Chain A
């Protein structure tokens, strides 16, 4: 039972990391960047390249991967969001199509560059197992869980407690009044996508050793991240964390104790029930705020 719970927790932490990356980009832009899953996958491939092929030191490999993620994030904003805003003044659901396109392009690029056979990504930390609570845990799994929790809480604090963060929340709630208040939406959007890309690449550094670098994983990560955000509540980092972990645990427990075919079904039923009871998700709240 403990092994199953730990397995679900690790899976949930992966989804939570995706949800955090989604939310970083979504808050100041209102855009659900479906290319984020592909950026995470790209981060995994780059980690493989830098560590397994180029044999770079771990710190340098992580920095280069995060820089590449930042560039991918910026490109996503410039190519998939900005033209829509320039053309119509708003982004709307058009970004859904353009970011899915960006996801396909990134996944295609990694497929062409590294092929479609999954690659074993080295972990930048120690290998082996850690014995705790009567089960075996891998250091990379512990790191993923820790990063998911720390990053969600840290982002929540930054966005709720800082002036820039509150400006982002204002944009998320209603873009036009925020613009009237002097918030430079385009600048915030670019920075948010850059940070989201950097975070996605960092997630790829840690997720890759668990899931392998695999171009076909991008849509799966994007969709489960979407479910985690929907469950946790749009705009809430802690909600995304909870949503991701709930999705991971429910999926794993249902698979183990109900049947392998019921993991995804259980998650979707949970999502429907949760959204019908709390349409804004578990952590979603709408508050009046002066900026």
Chain B
């Protein structure tokens, strides 16, 4: 084979491999699961990564569901019936999740009264068609790229999270409170983070703050150029929508540029233990947008209950909002069942659309302070900007942020 042909061949094989890797397939079966089980135990199906790349969040979400079920069982159950939880390990892969759920539902038609479909947005999004096809009552952590904004797309599925834009209200208020007039907005080129970079702009505009944006590809191993661009634009602070290693790259770049402006990370960034990603010398004037339960001053009763009822010890290095989402999904399910007086998916969905669930003794909540939905929108309409707080970056200890010593 000539060298030119070899290069062409290599490139073609790489392209083919990339294409194959980018495609995923799911099987299709004719499941008869159209109605919830009647009588006996209430079965709840959890799809969450237990061993793969998302296991740090998947295991905690499943633990939250289990804690919620144990708590409800201790209160007498739902509609006087005990709850049993089955966990499917999706290994952090949407295709695996889809395949497992199809198989599970085919083998156990009409068994499950509720499903917690996936530990994060892309997996939830992959399962939406199956949940809809089989008319399962589902409560998810979030619906990917707003897949359940239109209720018609998810007639029996509800998202704990609301409009993503609300997560940016707290940082915008933080900048306004500091009287900044020019803020740099830096984001990774991912759906979620890129949306946040867009979502914060109306809040900044409303506060009279000028802004400049920059973004970087997910494969970047340095963001010095992007930070340099924001510095040249005269930014007095940076809002950074990023997670993983880029959190460290941003702090490295700030130090390298000798640019001591505050950096506020978004909620995605706050899900990481930021102090583990940068030396202490690079952490001054660094903030994160945390779920309210993560704030050092937070003392939600539900968090204590999760610890009490969880079958195993929670991972103290994972933020509390992960177990909280599993827990709150069970509280929502219980409230819907109580309101509907039935476990059929359509009855539960109709009841959920009419519910306004607020944090209290009867329904202790941990993820958001309230949940409500309409017949047109199945994202949480009661989520508010105050469900998030901007706090100085801290170590995650006991699933909360502990101030740096």
Question: CB distance A129 to B255 under 8 Å?
Answer: yes
A214 within 8 A of B: yes
CB-contact partner of A136 in B4, B189, B222, B256, under 8 A: B256
* B215 to A, closest residue via Cβ: A260
Q: Give the CA-CA distance A134 to B237 in the complex, in Å.
A: 23
Binds B, one of A2-10, A58-66, A73-81: A2-10
Q: Interface on chain A toward B: helix, strand, loop, or mixed SS?
A: helix
CB-contact partner of A7 in B10, B224, B244, B278, under 8 A: B224
Contact with B along A7-19 (1 / 0, CB 8 A): 1101100100000
Question: CB distance B56 to A117 under 8 Å?
Answer: yes
Q: Give the CA-CA distance A132 to B214 in the complex, in Å.
A: 27
CB-contact partner of B276 in A4, A96, A120, A284, under 8 A: A120
B219 within 8 A of A: yes
Question: CB distance A3 to B272 under 8 Å?
Answer: no
* B17 to A, closest residue via Cβ: A100
* B216 to A, closest residue via Cβ: A260
Give the shortest distance, in Å, between A285 (CB) and chain B (any CB).
11
Give the shortest distance, in Å, between A161 (CB) and chain B (any CB).
23
Q: Which residues of A contact B13 (CB under 8 A)?
A: 93, 96-97
Question: CB distance A96 to B10 under 8 Å?
Answer: yes
Question: CB distance B10 to A4 under 8 Å?
Answer: no
CB-contact partner of B219 in A8, A96, A115, A220, under 8 A: A220
Give the shortest distance, in Å, between B157 (CB) and chain A (any CB).
27
Question: CB distance A256 to B229 under 8 Å?
Answer: yes
* A213 to B, closest residue via Cβ: B245
A3-B228, A279-B4 in contact; A118/B222 too (CB < 8 A)? no
Question: CB distance A252 to B222 under 8 Å?
Answer: yes
Question: CB distance A226 to B229 under 8 Å?
Answer: no
Question: CB distance A117 to B272 under 8 Å?
Answer: yes
* B51 to A, closest residue via Cβ: A112
Question: CB distance A210 to B256 under 8 Å?
Answer: no
Q: Which residues of B contact A10 (CB under 8 A)?
A: 222
A117-B272, A255-B216, A264-B217 in contact; A11/B222 too (CB < 8 A)? yes
Give the shortest distance, in Å, between B395 (CB) and chain A (any CB).
13
* A11 to B, closest residue via Cβ: B222
CB-contact partner of B221 in A217, A279, A284, A286, under 8 A: A217
CB-contact partner of B245 in A214, A263, A279, under 8 A: A214
Q: Which residues of A contact B220 (CB under 8 A)?
A: 263
Q: Give the CA-CA distance A255 to B257 in the complex, in Å.
A: 17
A32-B10, A136-B256 in contact; A255/B17 too (CB < 8 A)? no
Q: Give the CA-CA distance A100 to B18 in the complex, in Å.
A: 11
Give the shortest distance, in Å, between A115 (CB) and chain B (any CB).
7
CB-contact partner of B244 in A92, A118, A284, under 8 A: A118
Contact with A along B1-27 (1 / 0, CB 8 A): 101101101110110010000000000
Q: Which residues of B contact A211 (CB under 8 A)?
A: 221, 245
* B21 to A, closest residue via Cβ: A219
Question: CB distance B255 to A226 under 8 Å?
Answer: no
A280 within 8 A of B: yes
Q: Give the CA-CA distance A86 to B225 in the complex, in Å.
A: 49
Q: Which residues of B contact A286 (CB under 8 A)?
A: 3
Q: Give the CA-CA distance A138 to B9 in the complex, in Å.
A: 40
Q: Give the CA-CA distance A118 to B246 in the complex, in Å.
A: 9
Question: CB distance A252 to B225 under 8 Å?
Answer: yes
Question: CB distance A136 to B258 under 8 Å?
Answer: yes
A116-B53, A120-B248, A129-B255 in contact; A210/B221 too (CB < 8 A)? yes
Question: CB distance B258 to A11 under 8 Å?
Answer: no
Q: Give the CA-CA distance A11 to B217 in the complex, in Å.
A: 14
B340 within 8 A of A: no
A165 within 8 A of B: no
Question: CB distance B245 to A212 under 8 Å?
Answer: yes
* A275 to B, closest residue via Cβ: B7
Contact with B along A204-221 (1 / 0, CB 8 A): 000000111010110010
Q: Which residues of B contact A7 (CB under 8 A)?
A: 222, 224-225, 228
Question: CB distance A280 to B3 under 8 Å?
Answer: yes
Question: CB distance A93 to B10 under 8 Å?
Answer: yes
Q: Which residues of A contact B255 (CB under 8 A)?
A: 129, 136
B208 within 8 A of A: no
A3-B257, A211-B245 in contact; A260/B221 too (CB < 8 A)? no
* A127, A226, A263: most-surrounded residue (chain B CB, <10 A): A263
Q: Which residues of B contact A138 (CB under 8 A)?
A: 256
Q: Give the CA-CA distance A116 to B243 in the complex, in Å.
A: 12
Q: Give the CA-CA distance A4 to B7 in the complex, in Å.
A: 32
A118-B244, A255-B225 in contact; A226/B217 too (CB < 8 A)? no
Q: Which residues of A contact B4 (CB under 8 A)?
A: 279-280
Which residues B195-238 have CB closer than 8 A to chain A? 214-217, 219-222, 224-226, 228-229
Give the shortest distance, in Å, between B217 (CB) and chain A (any CB).
6
Give the shortest distance, in Å, between A131 (CB) and chain B (any CB).
9
* A254 to B, closest residue via Cβ: B225
Question: CB distance A212 to B53 under 8 Å?
Answer: no
Jot down 20 A-B pairs with beta carbons below 8 A, ordered by A: A3-B224, A7-B222, A32-B10, A92-B1, A93-B13, A116-B53, A116-B56, A117-B272, A120-B277, A127-B279, A136-B258, A212-B277, A216-B244, A217-B221, A230-B7, A252-B225, A253-B225, A261-B215, A264-B219, A279-B4
Given A119-B276, A136-B256, A253-B225, 16 extra CB contacts under 8 A: A4-B225, A4-B228, A115-B56, A116-B54, A120-B278, A129-B255, A129-B256, A212-B248, A212-B277, A220-B221, A260-B189, A260-B216, A260-B217, A264-B217, A275-B7, A280-B4
Across the A-B interface, the 8 shortest Cβ-Cβ residue pairs: A256-B225, A7-B224, A118-B245, A116-B53, A212-B245, A260-B215, A211-B221, A220-B219
